[in-house]
């Protein structure tokens, strides 16, 4: 069985493992969902009322039955009802997902726009002082936690310019693109910062590898101009590790950026999961974690496929 077939076959198995892990762990959380939802008022419920509520949210049976019911539903796109929001889990997730997707795309765009040219530039200036500056900046970028970046941005804006980032009600992109971008740009820069640093480092080292290849030397000796060698001959091959890195990083970002969403008060997936865990909203935690893991695995699978497409030398059967 070659690598890709094996990946495809194990995919559902791993998802099943993920679903079991999530299902069991959220049920190990002390306290119950009804009490978490109603607070002290839960004490006022009669046993019948409590039983009715538990039946409504599907938490009245044993774990095995609950899991079976949940899995059967999940396979048909029914992830249950969120206790906190009082609506289907999938609806709650899909409401939050566009923001998370947009944030991930924006951060990746920033990372590639900054990181790729910086990495290529540094590689062509190998060991000169400009290369050193880029490398130091990239190392610092990679070592700065995104909440430090976010807080520093807020600090510089508020102290230096007397403005605060727009927080409060979130405007979806298709409602008012300008206003939306105004809200998204700072969080995107925050997330894109370390991402750009990683892209810089990996594109620099990939570019250095490629520039020492024979075919690049051949192109140079044929008299292809320096820029032509870099852009047409070297870059396409140096892109392979960049694609891998960006893909994996993008997959992470699709899981929501808990901390950055928290700092900039954005209603994304990350904060929703955090709140759901704190609220013991079983159905929402299960559904969203499954959703995130599924996204993450699909993105990784696509990255692997792209990898094979970009580099025909890779014999996936050997991995």
Q: Which one, 239 or 285, has the nearer CB to another protein? A: 285
Determine the interface stretch with another protein among 22-30, 35-43, 178-186, 217-225 (rule: CB under 8 A): 22-30
Query: Which residues face 81 on adjacent strands?
Result: 88
Q: Least distance to another protein from the beta carbon of 97, Å?
A: 15
Interface with another protein, residue 142, by CB under 8 A: yes
What the block records as the tokens of 155 is 């600090």
Position among 297, 303, 305, 308 found at the interface with another protein (CB under 8 A): 297
Longest CA–CA span in the chain (Å) reads 87
Interface with another protein, residue 244, by CB under 8 A: no
Interface with another protein, residue 29, by CB under 8 A: yes
Q: Least distance to another protein from the beta carbon of 98, Å?
A: 19
Query: Which residues face 88 on adjacent strands?
Result: 81
Answer whether 101's CB lies under 8 Å from 292's CB.
no
| Closest C-alpha to 287, from 103, 96, 158 | 96
Position among 28, 64, 75, 163 found at the interface with another protein (CB under 8 A): 28
Q: Least distance to another protein from the beta carbon of 224, Å?
A: 25
Determine the interface stretch with another protein among 16-24, 56-64, 70-78, 102-110 (rule: CB under 8 A): 16-24
| Rounded (5°) CA angle 135-141-144 | 140
Answer whether 297's CB lies under 8 Å from 11's CB.
yes
Within 144-285, strands assigned E span none
CB-hemisphere CA count at 13 Å for 313?
2
| Closest C-alpha to 261, from 164, 168, 187, 158 | 187
Interface with another protein, residue 166, by CB under 8 A: no
Interface with another protein, residue 173, by CB under 8 A: no
Please give the residue ranges that form the binding site for another protein (CB under 8 A).
10, 13-15, 17-18, 21-22, 25-26, 28-30, 139-140, 142-145, 147-148, 151-152, 154-155, 158-159, 209, 251-252, 255-256, 258-259, 262-263, 273-274, 277-278, 285, 289, 292-293, 296-297
């Amino acid at each position: 069985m070659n690598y890709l077939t094996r990946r495809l076959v194990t995919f559902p198995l791993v998802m099943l493992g993920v679903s079991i892990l999530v299902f069991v762990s959220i049920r190990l959380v002390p306290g119950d969902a009804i009490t978490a939802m109603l607070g002290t008022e839960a004490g006022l419920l009669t046993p019948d009322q409590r039983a009715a509520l538990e039946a409504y949210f599907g938490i009245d049976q044993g774990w095995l039955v609950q899991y079976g019911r949940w899995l059967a539903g999940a396979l048909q796109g029914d992830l249950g009802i969120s206790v906190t929001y009082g609506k289907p889990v999938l609806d709650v997730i899909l409401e939050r997902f566009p923001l998370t997707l947009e944030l991930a795309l924006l951060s990746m765009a920033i990372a590639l726009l900054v990181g790729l040219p910086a990495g290529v530039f540094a590689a062509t200036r190998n060991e000169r002082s400009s290369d050193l500056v880029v490398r130091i900046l990239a190392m610092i970028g990679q070592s700065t936690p995104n909440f430090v970046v976010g807080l520093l941005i807020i600090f510089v804006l508020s102290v230096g310019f007397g403005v605060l980032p727009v927080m409060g009600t979130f405007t979806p992109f298709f409602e008012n693109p300008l206003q939306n971008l105004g809200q998204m740009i700072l969080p995107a820069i925050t997330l894109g910062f370390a991402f750009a640093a990683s892209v810089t480092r990996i594109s620099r080292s990939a570019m250095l590898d490629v520039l020492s290849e024979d075919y690049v030397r051949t192109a140079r000796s044929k008299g292809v101009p320096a820029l032509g060698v870099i852009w047409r001959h070297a870059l396409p091959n140096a892109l392979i590790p960049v694609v891998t890195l960006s893909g994996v990083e993008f997959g992470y970002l699709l899981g929501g950026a808990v901390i950055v969403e928290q700092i900039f008060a954005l209603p994304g997936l990350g904060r929703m999961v955090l709140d759901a865990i704190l609220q013991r909203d079983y159905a929402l935690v299960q559904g969203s974690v499954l959703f995130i893991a599924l996204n993450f695995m699909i993105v990784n699978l696509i990255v692997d496929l792209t990898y094979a497409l970009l580099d025909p030398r890779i014999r996936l059967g050997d991995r």
